[in-house]
Chain A
Amino acid sequence: MTKGKIVGLEGSFAVAEAVRMANVDVISAYPITPQTHIVERLAEMIADGELDAEFICVESEHSAMSACVGASAAGARVFTCSASQGLELMHEVLYIPSSMRLPVVAVTANRALSAPLSVWCDHSDAMAIRDIGWIQIFAENNQQAFDLTVCAYRIAEDKEVLFPAMVHIDGFYLSHVIEGVMLPDEEEVAHFIPDYEHPFVLDPEDPVSMGCYGPPFIYPEAKKAQEVDFTNTKPKIQETWDEFGETFGRYYSPVEKYKMEDANIALLTMGSSGETAMLAVDEMREEGRDVGLIRLRLWRPFPFKEFRDAVKDVELLVVLDRAISFGMGGPVCSEVKSALYDKRKDLSIVGFIGGLGGRDIPIDGFKYMVNRALEKVKMIERGEEIETEMIGIRE
């Protein structure tokens, strides 16, 4: 069993600890609520000599990611973090590390998007970047914020991966809440993520041209290669999490199940609401109902196989989205439906949108979703059109 100690830490500080133990070379970030505590803590660590890194206090998130791209291309291990509007401002730049195969690691403290301005949690920012080619991982608690950030470096820098990775922690729910976090021995972490040498760096001794201009005769092949390689990162991600489990005793997988053994009804969540959903499942189980829970840990690349396996014995899947795709419903629900199309005609899938802009979803909220979903199944059987329902809304 690993050495280490349990410390009370905010999710933000847990991330900062992971970044410190990863011994990053360059940090480039622009403050935005609710990510600020991460950058503040890292700046403090550098000022106290606990972390030997260059902190570039950039003038925008666009520059934060741009500086990470430059530093990563020059061979540095880098870190940035953002949220909400900040992630949207760096949106354009996010395409660069994924297509230039630079293992940038970032953390997003998930937050709603304007307008109206909201600093509170939802997953609108995370969903807006789902098609870019970043590995997207959702943490559920502060321990995971630490563990998954450590793993993100190992995954991103794997020579068979070389894609940027983003760990999503829910703004305030994780970023500002103190929980007990097991901090492992630093040397063990250093051993788990050894120094990284990028195969192609900007170096005058071996000049390379990066980011060239791709005419139609070469662009599609470049994109095909990116898509094939991105999809092929899935086994590496699982392998890394397995090795992490063997070393540190905490195991992760792309799709995590809770009380699913004999479940006919499954709830599906991402991020911190998974823990509330677990409590709801416990209560419903006590009431004698066969409800289980699926948490999507890995959002990109989408874990098709693991997901289909997880729902293979389920009759009803109830999906919670913390974001809206306007005019389409919930993005997670849309995607799980497409993942199951042609595979499971007998499975009913009912989506709900909730928890927008920091609105809490209590235990009863999950119970409501299950009950309401059963009613909706009957409506579907009667041939009625159903729309994605937003829960907890004052009408």
Chain B
Amino acid sequence: MEQEEELFLPRFITTEENFAAGHRACIGCGEALAVRHVCKALGKNVIIVNATGCIEIYSSLLPYTSWRVPWIHTLFENVGAVVSGVESAYKARIQKGKIEDRGVKFVGFAGDGGTSDIGLQALSGAMERGHDFLYCCFDNEAYMNTGIQRSSSTPYGAWTTTAPVGKKSIVGQTTWKKNMPEIAVAHRIPYVATACPSYPFDLMDKVKRGMEIEGPAYLHIFSVCPTGWRCPPEITVEIGRLVVETGIFPLYEVINGEYHLSVDFPKLKSVREYLKKQGRFRHLTEKDIERIQARVEEEYEKLRERASQKTAKGASQNKCAKFMTMDR
């Protein structure tokens, strides 16, 4: 990262809330915070397609709704397909002259279960077909809506109700977190990024970029869940920062196949700092933590390597660097 480009500029964000207050999310919900930021960045001219999950449950209890933009929820695993249908309907009706082109954007929302597990097929299909949409995965690393059951996005070592810490099996989740952004990258779509609401400007910029780019865009948003992670609700933002600072969840963009680290650190913090704050990791032994540390470093190096391979296409990265300065 080119430090000399760092500038402090006032940044204003809209006071308009398209995701209204009064929803029923848990105290300290990192996902609701992320949804709020995402909706600020999306603006009014969007249609949101939502999977079954926490967001849908806490935002749409009849007869109330938190949505000030058009919003549709149907099932758990079909966001990719429903958003394909909405986008195609607009495309066809504009093409036929039935409606005018008002530049409406199409966005899919789902959790990590609805994205990396049950909804993976529909999402893969939509990305492969090249629909013009932004997909936001709000990753809280387990099936929180149904009561903290493990998903393929649950990290190694985390306690969940279906990967419990027992007398015989003492580690919790025994598998490594599925790398969903890499799966999106493998579809060769124009835009893939990771974000976290602890870095709100970075998150909002990525939403805007994903929306503006023609074709499929995938945004993987780290969403702290105090209820499921067994941590106090007031440290949601802190946990979101630590996960980035430890290198466990790096913030990066892949623009037309080129990797850009949104923020990098000369020295990563120890994963211990992140793990020790959450009850879901309390059972981990020093050996487990060392194992996680080694894995994180290995993965982070691979990412750094990919990011260093890029050519001089630095414009968007420099922009990121500036915003990151503000975020931090």
Q: Any chain B CB within 8 A of the CB of A69?
A: yes
Q: Bound state CA distance, A73 and B99, in angstroms?
A: 15
- Which bucket holds chain B's interface residue count? 35 or more
Instruction: Kindly list chain B residues whose C-beta atoms are within 8 Å of the C-beta of A25.
Output: 89, 92-93, 96, 98
Shortest distance between the CB of A376 and any CB in chain B (Å): 45
Contact with B along A37-54 (1 / 0, CB 8 A): 000000000000000111
Quick check: B122 and A212 within 8 Å, CB to CB? no
- The CA-CA distance from A268 to B292 in the complex, in Å, is 68
Contact A210 B62 (CB under 8 A): no
Bound form: Cα–Cα A202–B82 in Å: 12
A123 CB within 8 Å of chain B = no
Stretch from A60-68, A129-137, A157-165, A316-324 forming part of the interface with B: A60-68
Assuming A59-B122, A202-B70, is B85 touching A68 (CB within 8 A)?
A: yes
As a 0/1 sequence over residues 77 to 111 of chain B, the CB contacts with chain A under 8 angstroms (1 = contact) are: 11011111111111111011011001010000000
Residues of B within 8 A of A202 (CB): 47, 70, 72, 86
Cα A79 to Cα B77 with chains together (Å): 21
Residue numbers in B under 8 Å from A71 (CB-CB): 85-86, 88-89, 92
The answer to whether A66 touches B82, judged by C-beta atoms less than 8 angstroms apart, is: yes
Query: Given A66-B78, A213-B56, A215-B62, are A207 and B88 neighbors across the interface (CB < 8 Å)?
Result: no
The answer to whether A74 touches B84, judged by C-beta atoms less than 8 angstroms apart, is: no
Chain A residue total in the interface (Cβ 8 A): 46
**23 residue pairs from A and B, CB less than 8 Å apart:** A25-B93, A28-B81, A57-B129, A59-B124, A63-B84, A67-B84, A71-B89, A71-B92, A72-B85, A72-B89, A74-B89, A96-B75, A100-B74, A195-B98, A204-B44, A204-B69, A205-B102, A206-B70, A208-B71, A211-B56, A211-B73, A213-B60, A213-B73
Contact A58 B125 (CB under 8 A): yes
State whether B80 touches A63 (Cβ < 8 A).
yes
Q: Which 8 A-B pairs have the closest CB atoms?
A: A70-B85, A63-B81, A67-B85, A66-B81, A59-B125, A76-B89, A74-B89, A66-B78
Residues of A within 8 A of B63 (CB): 218
Enumerate A168-227 residues with CB–CB distance to B below 8 Å: 195, 202-215, 218
Chain A CB within 10 A, most for which of B70, B89, B91, B95: B89
**B189 CB, min distance to chain A CBs, angstroms:** 15
CB-CB nearest in chain A for B48:
A202
- Cα–Cα distance between A208 and B83 once the two chains are bound (Å): 16
Question: Which of A62, A66, A96, A206 has its CB near the most chain B CB atoms (within 10 A)?
Answer: A66
Q: Are B62's CB and A76's CB within 8 A?
A: no
In the assembled complex, the Cα of A202 lies from the Cα of B291 at a distance in Å of 48
Residues of B with C-beta under 8 A to A211: 56, 60, 72-74
Tell me which residues from 252 to 291 in chain B have a Cβ below 8 Å from any Cβ of chain A: none
